[in-house]
């Protein structure tokens, strides 16, 4: 089981700028927990995502001396990928490829065809610089725009990614439209059809639907899950109302109920929860260590 903590996704839509030093302190807390991957920042235009304009400064302040957690940075174009690839500390570059034309235009100002072509160039950068590309299939469970969607459409995109050599694909429920009736069949179709690809679930949710979504993906064989402490976040490019990320504490609770060994440092996670409460102004809740 791989848990990917996504403070970048939690922060990116906030209007109030989080000071760089506070970001660094929070991320250093998260690096002690034992997550597989930390989605820590993005190399995108500061005009598009002003909250993350300090990603390079944040990276310079991270203590990676005693952690097994790998760093992931989001990029939206070739220029951002080349900038991110300059940093040896970063292992993964994440690129949002939408199965909705409308959202691709809103998110990266490109058509799907242009985005797929650029993704091929980014994959080349990753191969040349020793990075691994993680492709997020945004609107992977449907979209609010009326754009065509079906499991076959998602499979076609996945086939194109496989042909480019992409080996990690995260199905992204960008606006929280997924349901077990969509999640389970989609993973059940894709996982056996593309055994060379590691599939992840980047699920957005409401407080009353998180369990059924995790359960549906897990039952279908997904073993890579993204989350954000407190369920904070959402994509500011998708709709006017943000649908929160999957709360990491809920992921942990669910998998522990299932007897899944997560190898997390529980006291470190409890401390991260407390720090997150101050960063995001969350109500403080106890965590069983």
pLDDT at 83 over 80: yes
CATH topology of domain 2-280: TIM Barrel (3.20.20)
Q: Give pLDDT, residue 287.
A: 47
Residue 233: per-residue pLDDT: 75
What is residue 234's predicted lDDT score, i.e. its pLDDT? Answer: 58
Contact present, 24 and 267 (Cβ < 8 Å): no
> In sequence order, what DSSP letters do the residues of 72-119 get, joined into one string?
EEEESSHHHHHHHHT-TTEEEEEEEEESSHHHHHHHHSS-HHHHHHHH
Which pLDDT belongs to residue 238?
A: 38
Report the run of H or E that residue 135 belongs to, with start and end.
Answer: strand 132-138
What number is the average pLDDT over the span 191-199? 98
| Backbone angles phi and psi of 137, in degrees to 5 | -85, 90
Please check the confidence at residue 232 and state whether its pLDDT lies above 70. yes
The predicted structure's pLDDT at residue 281:
79
The CA distance from 6 to 28, in Å, is 13
Per-residue confidence (pLDDT) for residue 244, from 0 to 100? 81
What are the domain boundaries of the chain?
A: 2-280
How many Å apart are CA 130 and CA 213, to the nearest integer? 34
What is the pLDDT confidence band of residue 284, given thresholds at 50, 70 and 90? Answer: low
Gap between the Cα atoms of 228 and 250, Å rounded: 10
For the four alpha carbons of 130, 68, 50 and 61, in that order, the dihedral sign comes to: negative
pLDDT value at residue 240: 37
Give the confidence band of 172 by pLDDT, cuts at 50, 70, 90.
Answer: very high
Band (pLDDT 50/70/90 cuts) for residue 285 is low
The structure tokens listed for 68 are 């097994």
Average pLDDT in the chain = 92
CB atoms within 10 A of CB 278: 12
- pLDDT score recorded for residue 198: 98
C-alpha to C-alpha distance for 278 and 272, rounded to whole angstroms: 10
Distances (CA, A) of 108 to 48, 79, 256: 9, 13, 37
What are the angstrom distances between the C-alpha of 139 and each of 47, 168, 170, 230, 280? 23, 17, 11, 22, 26
Q: Using the 8-state DSSP alphabet, how is residue 230 labeled?
A: G
Tell me the C-alpha distance between 109 and 15, whole Å. Answer: 21
Per-residue CA distances from 86 to 54, 62, 147 (Å): 16, 16, 36
**pLDDT at position 289 over 50:** no
220 close to 184: Cβ distance less than 8 angstroms: yes
pLDDT mean over 191-215: 95
Indicate the pTM of the whole model: 0.92
In the prediction, which pLDDT does 237 show?
A: 41
- Indicate if the pLDDT at residue 1 is higher than 80: yes
User: Quick one: what percent of the chain has pLDDT higher than 90?
Assistant: 82
The per-residue pLDDT for 206 is 85
| pLDDT per position as a tens digit, 6-40 | 999 999 989 899 999 999 999 999 999 999 999 99
């Amino acid at each position: 089981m791989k848990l990917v903590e996504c403070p970048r996704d939690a922060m990116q839509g906030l209007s109030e700028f989080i000071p760089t030093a506070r970001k660094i302190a929070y991320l250093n807390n998260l690096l002690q927990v034992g997550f597989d991957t930390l989605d820590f920042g993005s190399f995108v235009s500061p005009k598009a995502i002003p909250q993350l304009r300090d990603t390079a400064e944040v990276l310079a302040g991270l203590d990676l001396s005693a952690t097994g957690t790998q760093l992931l940075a989001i990029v939206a174009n070739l220029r951002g990928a080349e900038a991110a690839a300059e940093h040896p500390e970063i292992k993964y570059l994440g690129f949002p490829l939408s199965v909705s034309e409308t959202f691709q235009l809103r998110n990266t100002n490109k058509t799907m065809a242009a985005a797929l072509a650029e993704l091929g160039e980014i994959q080349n950068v990753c191969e040349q610089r020793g990075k691994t590309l993680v492709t997020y299939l945004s609107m992977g469970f449907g979209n609010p725009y009326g754009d065509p969607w079906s499991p076959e459409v998602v499979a076609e995109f996945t086939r194109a990614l496989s042909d480019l050599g992409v080996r990690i694909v995260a199905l992204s429920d960008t606006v929280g439209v997924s349901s077990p009736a969509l999640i389970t069949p989609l993973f059940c179709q894709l996982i056996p059809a593309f055994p060379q690809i590691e599939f992840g679930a980047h699920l957005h949710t409401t407080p009353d639907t998180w369990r059924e979504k995790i359960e549906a993906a897990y039952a279908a064989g997904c073993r890579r899950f993204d989350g954000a402490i407190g369920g904070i976040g959402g994509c500011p490019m998708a709709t006017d109302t943000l649908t929160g990320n999957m709360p990491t504490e809920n992921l942990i609770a669910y998998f522990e109920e299932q007897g899944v060994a997560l190898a997390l440092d529980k006291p470190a996670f409890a401390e991260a929860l407390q720090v997150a409460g101050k960063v995001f102004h969350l109500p403080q809740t106890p965590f069983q260590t």
